[in-house]
Amino acid sequence: MSRIAKKPIEIPADVTGTLDHRTLTVTGPKGTLKREFRSEISIEINGNEIHVTTKKTDVFSRSLLGTYASHIKNMIKGVTEGYEKKLILEGVGFKSAVVGNILDLALGFSHPVKIEIPEGLTVTAEKNVISISGIDKEQVGQFSAYVRSLKKPEPYKGKGFRYNDEVIRRKQGKKSA
């Protein structure tokens, strides 16, 4: 059994959680998140605590238990604090700007790269530092991973997108004789 799911999940005072059949809705000061869960897991709300248990004892149900407990914790943290990822764009001539709901990037290609910002996310770009923030951890992570995949950092000069806390292992390069 998951150690994460053994402990009840505390609901802060400014957050409300409602369960409708298999859909959990968490509402807080930053917004509302909904998530549908599978029927193998039982979710109960008692006062200001959420208890997550399995209905069956098979391996699949037990593997979902800790995952669903983490999803619920992430939902509660998202509606109270929110999530943020920062991407740093390094390279000569690489530029980033936000125009309306479009992220406009110049990444050394023959054309500018324009990405539509998903609803629910806030993106700011200043001095080649792109901040992606929102209440849904999956959405923030997915969008930042997509932006990073457009120009991954290369190991020789480190040009491209990297996360704020990411360390790029550099290679030595060609030696002259």
State residue 124's pLDDT score.
Answer: 94
- Predicted structure pTM score: 0.88
Q: Report pLDDT for 177.
A: 65
Beta bridge partners of 67: none
pLDDT above 80 for 3: no
CB contact set of 67 (below 8 Å; sequence gap of 6+): none
Q: How confident is the model at residue 127 (pLDDT cuts 50, 70, 90)?
A: confident
Rounded CA-CA distance 78/87 in Å is: 20
Token pair, residue 75, equals 């939902």
pLDDT computed for residue 36 by the predictor: 93
Residue whose structure tokens are 């290609």: 109
pLDDT value of position 1: 59
In the chain, % of residues over pLDDT 90: 52
